[in-house]
Amino acid sequence: MNNILRPTLELTVIIPGMILAYLPVKSTLKISLTKLIAWLFPLLIALCILGGILCSALQIKTAPILFFLLLFLMMIYHKTLAISIWKSFSIFLAICAVFSCVNSFSRAINAIIDLHIPASKNILWFQIGTGIIYNIICILFLLAVWYPATHTVRIMIDDDNFAQTWYVFWILPLIFIGLNLFMVPKYDGTLYTGRILQIYIVVSLVLLIILALFYALFLLMANSLNQNARLQQENYLLSIQQERYTNLCNAIEETRQARHDMRHHFLQLSSMAEAGDLEKIKEYLYNVIQKIPTMHMHFCKNQVIDSVISYYCALAERNTIPFHVQIDLPAQISVDETDFCLVLSNLLENALEASLKTAKFRQRIDIKIYRHASNLVLIQIENAFDGKIQQKHGIFLSSKRNENGIGIQSVRHIVEKTGGGCNFTYDNGIFTAKIMLRPCINS
C-alpha cells in the first residue's frame, strides 16, 4: 500500500497547483466555476491515484508520469479559458517553476528523513512524511499568494497594455524549472557526500526566493506600465476635450462677429431691395449664409462622450464626410467613461480612416448610441468602405501594417474585460460595428 501512496502523494501537488493557476483567470472561464470544479477536481484525484498505481507497478519515479500529466493539464487549462495561449502557457509554467523549487527543497527534507537508509540504495519516491510536508508547503504557498493572485495578477492578465510581455515571460519560469531539474542527483546517495546536502538545501531555498523576487518585480513593473498607459489614455481624452473647447471658442467668436456684422448686412440688403435687384440679394444672402459657422455644440448630456463625438464630427466635416449621430445618454452613465471613450475613439478613428479611402459619393459615418435596461450601453457605428477587408482566424488585419488591427483588438479586449459583447460585419461596402458595454466587472 505504501508503494502506491508514496508516488500518489508526490503527484497530488497538482491539485493546489491547478487551483493557483485558475485564481487570476476566473473572469475568463468559458464555463461556470461550479461546473469546472465538479468535473476537474475528481479528474485530478483520479489522475493522481492512477499515476501512483502506474509508478508502483512499473517501479519508476514520478517524473515521467508527471511530465505527461502536466502536458495534459496544460491543454485542459488553456481550453477552459478565453485568453491567448501565451498567457495560459506562461501562467502554467510560472506555477510549475515555483512548485519545482518546493520539490527540490522537499527532496532535501526527504534525504534528512532517509539518513538511516544506505547511501548506495536508490530511493524511487519520497517517504510518506516527506510527501505530506511537500503537499503542506504547496498548500501554504497557495494560501499565501491567494490575495495577490486574485487581485494584482488578475489585473495584469486583463491589462491589454501588457499583452506583448507574455511572448517572453515564459522564458523565466522555464529557466528555473531547468535549474531545478539540473539539481536532481542521479543517485540519492549523492546528497550524503560531504556538505552536498546542506548546499542543496541552501540552493533550493535561494532559487525559490530569487524566483519570488523576480515575480514581485514583474508585478511591480506591470502595475507601473498599467498606470502609465492609463495616464496616456486620460491625457489623450483630455487633449480631445481641449481641442473641442478650442473649436467651441472659435465658433462662438465667429458667431459673435457674425452678429456684430448683422447691422451692416441689413443695410446692404435694404439698399439692394430699394434698387429692386433680386439676383444680387440672393447672391448676397448665399455668401452670408456660407460664412455662418455650422456648430454642433451638443450631442448628449455626458460631457466626456460629447467631446469625443464632437472631435470626430469636426474631423469629418473638415473632410466633407457626412456624419450622422443619434444618441440618447444621460449625464451620468453606469459604464466606465474611460473605457467607453476608448471604444468610441477606436471605432470612429477606423471609420474616419476608411471613409477617407472611399469614393466621395459613398462616404458616410452613422452613429447610434443609447442605453438599454438601465445599465447597458449599446453602440452601432456604420461606415462605407472601398477595397478588401482582411481577416485571419477571426482577427481583422491592419490596412496600414502587415499585422493585426490594433483598434479592433483594443475594442474587443475592453468589451471582454467588462463582460460585454461585440460584433463586426461587412457587406455591400458597409462596415458595421455593434458593441454592448456593461459596468466594469472589477467595480
Query: Does 161 have pLDDT greater than 70?
Result: no
Q: Give domain limits for the chain.
A: 2-233, 298-443
Q: Please, which residues bridge with residue 29 across strands?
A: 81
Average pLDDT of every residue of the chain: 82
pLDDT value at position 41? 94
Mean pLDDT of 238-263: 66
φ/ψ (deg, to 5) at 161: -70, -15
Query: Does 40 have pLDDT greater than 90?
Result: yes
What Å distances lie between residue 228 and 77, 161, 162, 258, 327, CA to CA? 31, 10, 11, 45, 32
Mean pLDDT of 156-171: 74
What SS3 class is residue 426? strand
C-alpha span between 98 and 141 (Å, rounded)? 9
pLDDT value at position 248? 56
Tell me the helices (H) and strands (E) count for the chain, helix number first: 16, 7
C-alpha span between 149 and 82 (Å, rounded)? 18
What Å distances lie between residue 443 and 159, 326, 418, 440, CA to CA? 15, 29, 9, 5
Sign of CA dihedral 126, 132, 138, 141: negative
Look up the CATH number of domain 298-443. 3.30.565.10
Query: Does 144 have pLDDT greater than 80?
Result: yes
| Residues contacting 285, CB < 8 A, separation 6+ | 269
Beta strands 376-384 and 391-392, pairing class = unpaired
pLDDT value at position 251? 61
Query: Does 339 have pLDDT greater than 60?
Result: yes
pLDDT value at position 35? 92
- Reading across the β-sheet that carries 430-437, which strands appear in turn? 323-328, 365-372, 376-384, 430-437, 421-427
C-alpha span between 323 and 391 (Å, rounded)? 27
Position with higher pLDDT, 397 vs 434: 434
Query: Does 74 have pLDDT greater than 90?
Result: yes
pLDDT value at position 4? 87
pLDDT value at position 282? 83
pTM of this structure: 0.61
Which tens digit of pLDDT belongs to each residue from 87-130?
Answer: 899 999 999 999 999 998 888 888 887 766 554 444 677 888 88
Query: Does 441 have pLDDT greater than 70?
Result: no
pLDDT value at position 325? 92
Q: Are 433 and 381 in contact (CB under 8 A)?
A: yes
C-alpha span between 135 and 141 (Å, rounded)? 10
Which tens digit of pLDDT belongs to each residue from 354-387?
Answer: 899 898 889 999 999 988 877 889 999 999 988 7
Question: Per-residue DSSP letters for 43-55?
Answer: HHHHHHHHHHHHH
Catalogue the E-assigned strands of 292-420: 323-328, 365-372, 376-384, 391-392, 395-396
